Structure formats: C-alpha cells, structure tokens
C-alpha cells in the first residue's frame, strides 16, 4: 500500500535532479515570452494588458506577498520594437524601462515601479538570459 509520505518522497526524489529553485529571468522560447519568477509555487496569472501578465501565488505565504513574478508576452516582437537583442543578456532594469515606454498606462507604470522593481531587486535578478543560437534558428 502506498502512503502519502511514500508518494511525497518519490516526488521529491524525482525532482531532486533539477536542484533547488533559484529566482530567475529567462526567455521562454516555446511561449514567446520573458518570464521573471521569484518563488517556486503554484501561480495564478492575471493579464494586465496584451504585453504584461502578473504572476501571483495561488496560496500566498504569511508575509502576504502575493506577487511572485511577471511575464512579458510576445517577447520577440517586443524586443525587436524596443531594440533589445535576444542573443545577449538583457538587463532587467532596461527591460522594465522598455515596458513602461511601450505601455505608458498608469497601471503598468505603477506595477513596474512599485512591485516589479522591488521583486527583482530583492531576488537579486539582474538580467534575462538570452536565447541560445539553436533556439534563434528554429524561430
């Protein structure tokens, strides 16, 4: 008979190969978006506008921190419009400035200035990892 403890142990062993979660910023080539994640948890996505989606913890921790990241949709087109290269690391500060330039809406600006910048600063995320050459060729 399999107990919940046994199942939990098996799942942890399976995922141990990936190592511990670290806050990150990366280009998700398959979904054509840039993802910035500060916590490994179940998330709910809230679309702000066609470009920006906020990632919220489905079950926030006791500190009340609900926002755990964000996604920039249509990353290839957005980066091309903003003259950001996908072949070299992109500074997160430049990326956030570009989002405000592309979407000068009050809600977007408030989210970037008061939430996103704090998230990346506290998580010590400095850059978005570039696409590798193979991913660029396939696109």
Provide the pLDDT for residue 16: 63
Per-domain boundaries in the chain: 22-138
Provide the pLDDT for residue 128: 93
Provide the pLDDT for residue 119: 95
Residue 71 has pLDDT above 90, yes or no: yes
Residue 138 has pLDDT above 50, yes or no: no
Residue 135 has pLDDT above 80, yes or no: no
Residue 84 has pLDDT above 70, yes or no: yes
Give the range among 1-5, 45-49, 113-117 with minimum mean pLDDT: 1-5
Q: pTM (2 decimals)?
A: 0.79
**19: alpha, beta or left, given left = phi > 0 and alpha = psi -120 to 50?**
left
pLDDT over 90 for what percent of the chain? 63
Regarding predicted confidence, which is higher, 125 or 6?
125
């Amino acid at each position: 008979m399999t107990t919940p403890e046994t199942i939990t142990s098996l799942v942890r062993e399976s995922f141990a190969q990936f190592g511990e979660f670290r806050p990150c910023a990366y280009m998700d080539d398959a979904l054509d978006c840039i993802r910035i994640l500060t916590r490994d948890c179940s998330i709910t996505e809230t679309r702000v506008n066609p470009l920006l989606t906020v990632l919220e913890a489905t079950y926030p921790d006791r500190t009340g921190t609900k926002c755990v990241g964000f996604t920039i949709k249509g990353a290839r087109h957005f980066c091309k419009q903003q003259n950001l290269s996908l072949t070299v690391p992109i500074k997160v500060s430049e990326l956030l400035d570009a989002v405000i330039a592309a979407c000068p809406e009050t809600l977007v600006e408030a989210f970037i200035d008061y939430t996103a910048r704090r998230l990346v600063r506290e998580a010590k995320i400095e850059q978005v990892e570039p696409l590798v050459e193979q991913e660029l060729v396939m696109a």
